[in-house]
Each structure stands twice: as structure tokens, then as C-alpha cells.
Amino acid sequence: MHLLLTLGSFCFCLSPDKAFEAWCKKNDIYSSRISCRTTGASIGGRGLFTDHDVREGEVLATIPARLLLTSNDKALWAGEIAAKAKVAEPVIAEWVSTWSGGFSEDLEAMGALGEGARRQVGVKLEKRRKQFEGAKVLYGLERDDWAMYNMIWSRACYLGPQWKNEIGIIPFFDMLNHTPKENVRLSSLGDAMRGFEGALKPADLDEKDMLIIAKEDIAKDSELLTCYLNEGKADSKEDRDELAARRMVVWGF
């Protein structure tokens, strides 16, 4: 679907990718020649790509802290974030409205999984549902919020010491696709400057603003990739089953 933006007497019809980039620019998300592309070259069909050769350590984007949806509830954090998303101010609600509208639980998709992994999927889903029931009571969620609740699980990450290790969803960063080996890392400005206490921080940035930083040299037109899960080693069959089940429950069927 294309989005219409009106400016004075002019009307511009933007593709979803260009509309996303315009939203970022309007809300002070700075990115260093990074473009959103819907393409078969993306491992997810749509992602963020660099328009230039990148050097390790380069700051690729800064995201204002005011745009994040966060929680310090260690048990029901997804419920708190979902509740905040439902009543967010218009600029954040505009971002939330672009989230995928569904969470598939098609059990046929589990056919490729072994019996052990399928069993673990069932256990993990039941635990997730119990957490959702608790979040409904505590944060006033509705049954229809189940899809958003699961979408939050697939997008959230720890924000680091500067945020007292709160969990949150970060616009722009949440557009990155996931692989076992990431080529960028996430850090708040304050955490990135630790050890450089005498240095001057940019005047227009807050220490809680988030940075996306290249972990390695990245060639032009390469996709920027992250990995939210600390997957560890999966040497045994039980470990591999657990990892397969965890991926299935986090990102859907």
C-alpha cells in the first residue's frame, strides 16, 4: 500500500520504503546513507541496506530516546510495552501502525521440526499464553492484543546499562532482519562513551539516544543484520531442538 503525504498544495505518493525513510527523517532519526529496500536480496524480503562502503566502528544511525517504547517490568515487559503502544502519542502510533498485523500459529509449519522441538514449542507457547493472561489483568490488555503482544516479542531487545537494562522496541533498528551472525551492534550514546568521560558528547544528542554501529567492514549495497537472541552453542540434539522451538515461538510459524 502506498502512503499519501500532503505538503501545502502538493501531494506526494510514496512507496512504503520511501514513506518509512520520510518518517525517520521527520522524527530526527539520522542514518548515514542507509536505505530501506523491498527486494529479493533481503533475507526477509525487506530490510535496511547501506548505500556506501562502511568501515568497522562507523555510526550508521542515531535514534532519539523519546521514540522508544520501553519497560522495566522484568516478568511482563511485553504487556507493558503493548499497553504503551496502544495509547502512544501520534508520532509513535504512526510507527506502531506499520507493525505486522498478525501472528501465525499454523501448526502445519511445524512439520519440518522433530518431535522434541514440537513438544518444546507447545510448552513455550503455553508459557507465553499464561504470561499474556497476566499482562491482560495488570495492563488492561484485550484478547485482540495477542498478535501485538507476540509482535513485541519478536522486536524487543535489552537497551543496555545506560537504560538500566530496560527492554524496549526501537524504531529503525526494528527494521533489521536477524541472522546468527550480525554485522552491526546496538548501543546507547552513554554506553558507547563509557571510558571516555572527558570527551564532549554531541550537543544535540541525549545519553539515552541509541546508536547503530558497524561491527565490521560492510560493502556497499549489503544488508544490515542483527541477532536479538543470544543463541549460544547447539551441540546436542536437545540443544538444537530447544533452539528451533525458541526461534519458532519468537518469530512465528
Whether 51 and 220 have beta carbons less than 8 Å apart is answered as yes
Does the structure show a pLDDT above 70 at 138?
A: yes
| Proportion of the chain above pLDDT 70, given as a percent | 84
Taking the C-alpha atoms of residue 176 and residue 52, their distance in angstroms, rounded to an integer, is: 17
Rounded (10°) CA dihedral 182, 156, 69, 214: -10
Say which range, 17-31, 164-178, 194-208, 210-224, has the weakest mean pLDDT: 194-208
> Which ranges of the chain would DSSP assign to H, the alpha helix?
16-26, 77-86, 90-96, 115-139, 146-155, 189-192, 237-251
What is residue 115's predicted lDDT score, i.e. its pLDDT? 81
Given the C-alpha cell 520504503, which residue does it identify?
17
Say which range, 81-85, 186-190, 199-203, 217-221, has the weakest mean pLDDT: 199-203
Domains and CATH numbers, the chain: 15-251 (3.90.1410.10)
Does the structure show a pLDDT above 50 at 77?
A: yes
pLDDT band with cut points at 50, 70 and 90 for residue 241: confident
pLDDT band with cut points at 50, 70 and 90 for residue 247: confident
pLDDT band with cut points at 50, 70 and 90 for residue 199: low
What is residue 120's predicted lDDT score, i.e. its pLDDT? 87
pLDDT band with cut points at 50, 70 and 90 for residue 1: very low
How much of the chain is in helix, strand and coil states, percent to nearest 5?
Answer: 40, 20, 40
Taking the C-alpha atoms of residue 253 and residue 157, their distance in angstroms, rounded to an integer, is: 21
Q: Average per-residue pLDDT in the chain?
A: 87
Does the structure show a pLDDT above 90 at 187?
A: yes
Taking the C-alpha atoms of residue 210 and residue 187, their distance in angstroms, rounded to an integer, is: 6
Say which range, 55-59, 93-97, 182-186, 193-197, has the weakest mean pLDDT: 193-197
DSSP, collapsed to helix, strand or coil, labels residue 34 as strand
Taking the C-alpha atoms of residue 171 and residue 61, their distance in angstroms, rounded to an integer, is: 11
Sorted by sequence, the CB contacts under 8 Å of residue 130 that are 6+ apart come out as none
pLDDT band with cut points at 50, 70 and 90 for residue 42: very high
What is residue 197's predicted lDDT score, i.e. its pLDDT? 63
Given the C-alpha cell 519468537, which residue does it identify?
250
What is residue 3's predicted lDDT score, i.e. its pLDDT? 44
The total number of residues written for the chain in this structure: 253
Given the C-alpha cell 495509547, which residue does it identify?
87
Considering Cα of 72, then 73, then 74, then 78, what sign does the dihedral take?
negative
What is residue 198's predicted lDDT score, i.e. its pLDDT? 61
- pTM score of the predicted model: 0.86
Q: How many CA atoms lie within 13 A of 104 on its CB side?
A: 10
